[in-house]
Structures are given as C-alpha cells and as structure tokens.
C-alpha cells in the first residue's frame, strides 16, 4: 500500500495544535490533541439539498429549526388553499394533521415544530383566522383584528408579531398594520413605517422583530429592500437589503441575526443575505432560485422549502462547511 508521502508528496506533519500551514486537503497530526486533523477548505456557509416536501407548494407557512421544522398550508395548483401540514426531522418530511382552514400567503411564528402559530392568508379572500399547533393538532384561536394576506410573522406561538400584509379586493393594496400576539389575543400596535406585503420577518418575540423586503405595490410590483426593526414600541428603519425583493423567506430567532433567502426581484432569485444586527451581507446563493418559499431556523442553521415558479417541494439546508476537521476512526 502506498504511503501518505508517496501519494501526496509530503509526510504527515507533526504539529502541536492547529497547523496554519496546512493547505486544503492536507492531513497533520495534532500532538496536543493526539488526533489526526485535516484542512477541508475555507470555512463558509452554503446550501445543500435535502429531501423534498411530500406536497410541492408555495406561499406556505414555516416554523421551527434546521432539524425540526413545520410546513403548513400554501398553494399547489390546481386546487389551491391547502391545509396540508408536514413535519421535518432534519432528513425527511412526514405528513401530520391538517390545518382547519386551507390558505396560502400565511403568516407564521414558532421556533419549534411542536408549537407554531398560523395567521391570516388568502383562502380566497383575506383571512383573519389564527390557528395554534401543539405538535399534534391545529386549534382555532382568536383571529387577527385586520384580515390580510401575506403578513410577515416572527416570534413564538405564545409571543408573536404579525406585520403588514395586503388587503383584499378591489385594491389588494399594502397594509402597514402590525399586531402582537400574547398567546390569547391579537393587539394592534404601531404601524410599519412603510406598508408592504409578502415581506419576511425574524425575531424572538412580540417585542423584538425585524421585517425586510416585501412588495409595497401589487399593481406595479415594486419590491422593497427596506428593513425595519421593532423594539416592542416602535419601528426604526435600518440598513437596506442589497437586493430588493418580495416573497422571500426569512429565518432567525433574533432580530440581530437573520437570513434573507430567495424571493422575486420580480424574477426568481437565489440570492441569500445575512443580517448581523447592522448590515446585510451577500452570502452563498440557493442551489435552486425561487420565490414564495418558506423557512425555519437561524442565520447559521436554516432550512427552506417549497416555492415557485414552477411549484416545487425542494428543500435546502444552510450550515457551515469547510474548516479544520478531526479525523475519527471507529
């Protein structure tokens, strides 16, 4: 059998700690840790494919984490306004109990796949219905004060924020209305500075949110790059997205670390941007560009699913790759 030196042209370096001279693919022996290590390349975040939804759809709701997500409702023509709910375990999607009201353009909140909130939407006509997921069933709870489709949602099933959206016929115009959910009721609070629908949102609760992108003008399509942050009392305009878009996905458990994924520019985009609390930075693109997708997770570990056009169930996972790895033997 050929030795490492015969194959690679150099001996395995014996080094105490992280060998900074290692090129991509090079193995060395870390005498401090008593393990072999390898440089697998620059440490970057990227998207990888995962198993698709059972029902391809767009404009669904999404909640949960990278390895425990929930997809609910959405549209899958012909026969729009789906009630279908699927739960993701990090590898596969499993059909679980349906929503009570089929709809698309759903507002969503929830940081686990066992406790989520669905609100608003289009059924057809604007919806105010709110449903609470307990890990097994959806239960109807008190509805939004203002019926709408395409509200942005963030927070948890007991402390959520519904921001903006669009009204129904005849104008289908954008709304700046914002409501907070306390686990029982919705309360109207201060409006967004710029009314918009089909934006994305991230945040931990009904007192800390971030809203970005969106389509303020359904008649003329004018996707927004605007970002606003919510402190529980007021909205403040902060730095813009690099790429204006609507019908994007937003992930992030806080309003200081978020991901803006895909959307329509108006053509579908694969662009991904990461928010650090101050600025948006372009990072690696989705493998399949799309709008009207849903997402779950954080800005470091995320999953996105579904979208259009055409209608798809494609799932992609976001995490870091590369860096120094320890070689494990079994």
Partner 1 sequence: MAHKTYQYCVAENWGKGFIEHSESSKIAFSGLPGNVWRVPAHNKHANLWIAKVAGSVKTLDEAQAIVDAVVTAAQAVWDALPDADKAPALENNKRPTDITLEE
What single-letter DSSP state applies at residue 11? P
- 40 or 128, CB closer to partner 1? 40
Q: Cα angle at 82 between 81 and 84, to 5 degrees?
A: 165
Beta pairing class for 69-72 and 61-64: antiparallel
In whole angstroms, how far apart are CA 130 and each of 171, 179, 186? 24, 12, 10
- 107 or 155, CB closer to partner 1? 107
Least distance to partner 1, CB of residue 207, Å: 29
Least distance to partner 1, CB of residue 75, Å: 8
- 291 or 297, CB closer to partner 1? 291
- 189 or 248, CB closer to partner 1? 248
Instruction: Give the separation between CA 271 and CA 263, rounded to whole angstroms.
Output: 8
Q: Do the beta carbons of residue 102 and residue 122 sit within 8 Å?
A: no
Q: Copy the structure tokens of residue 282.
A: 């372009």
Q: Copy the structure tokens of residue 323.
A: 């860096």
Least distance to partner 1, CB of residue 59, Å: 7
Among the listed residues 313, 286, 283, the one whose alpha carbon sits nearest the alpha carbon of residue 47: 286
Least distance to partner 1, CB of residue 11, Å: 26
- 155 or 307, CB closer to partner 1? 307
- 189 or 293, CB closer to partner 1? 293
Q: Do the beta carbons of residue 215 and residue 222 sit within 8 Å?
A: yes
In whole angstroms, how far apart are CA 284 and each of 47, 50, 99, 171, 258? 7, 17, 34, 37, 14
Contacts of 310 (CB under 8 A, 6+ apart): none
Least distance to partner 1, CB of residue 221, Å: 5
Least distance to partner 1, CB of residue 134, Å: 28
- 16 or 48, CB closer to partner 1? 48
Give the footprint of partner 1 on this chain (CB under 8 A).
40-42, 44, 46-52, 58-59, 75, 77-78, 80, 91, 105, 122, 124-125, 149-150, 166, 168-169, 172, 197-198, 215, 218-219, 221, 223, 246-247, 264, 266-267, 270, 284-285, 287-289, 291-292, 308-311, 314-315, 317, 319-322
Sign of the Cα pseudo-torsion (274, 203, 293, 164, in order): negative
Least distance to partner 1, CB of residue 238, Å: 24
């Amino acid at each position: 059998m050929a030795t490492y030196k015969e194959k690679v042209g150099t001996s395995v370096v014996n080094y105490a700690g992280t060998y900074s001279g290692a090129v991509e693919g090079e193995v060395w022996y870390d005498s401090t840790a008593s393990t072999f290590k390898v440089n697998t390349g620059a440490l970057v975040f990227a998207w990888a494919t995962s198993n698709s939804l059972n029902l391809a759809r767009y404009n669904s709701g999404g909640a949960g984490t990278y390895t425990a997500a929930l997809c609910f409702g959405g549209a899958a023509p012909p026969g729009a306004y789906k009630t279908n709910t699927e739960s993701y375990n990090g590898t596969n999607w499993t059909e679980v109990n349906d929503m009570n009201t089929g709809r698309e353009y759903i507002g969503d909140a929830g940081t686990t796949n066992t406790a989520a909130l669905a609100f608003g939407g289009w059924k057809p006509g604007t919806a105010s219905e709110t449903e609470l997921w307990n890990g097994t069933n959806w239960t109807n709870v008190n509805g939004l004060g203002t019926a709408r489709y395409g509200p942005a949602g963030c927070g948890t099933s007991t402390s959520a924020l519904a921001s903006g959206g669009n009204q129904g016929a005849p104008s289908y115009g954008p709304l700046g209305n914002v409501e907070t959910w306390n686990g029982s009721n919705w309360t109207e609070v201060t409006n967004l500075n710029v009314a918009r629908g089909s934006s994305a949102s991230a945040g931990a609760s009904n007192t800390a949110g971030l809203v970005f992108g969106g389509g303020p003008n359904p008649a003329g399509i004018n996707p927004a790059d605007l970002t606003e942050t919510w402190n529980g009392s007021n909205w403040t305009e902060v730095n813009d997205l690099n790429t204006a878009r609507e019908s994007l996905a937003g992930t992030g458990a806080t309003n200081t670390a978020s991901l803006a994924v895909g959307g329509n520019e108006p053509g579908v985009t694969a662009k991904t941007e990461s928010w650090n609390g101050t600025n948006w930075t372009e990072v690696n693109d989705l493998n399949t560009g799309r709008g009207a997708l849903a997402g779950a997770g954080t800005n470091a570990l995320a999953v996105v699913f579904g979208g259009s056009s055409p209608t798809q169930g494609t799932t992609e996972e976001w995490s870091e790759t590369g860096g120094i790895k320890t070689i494990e033997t079994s």
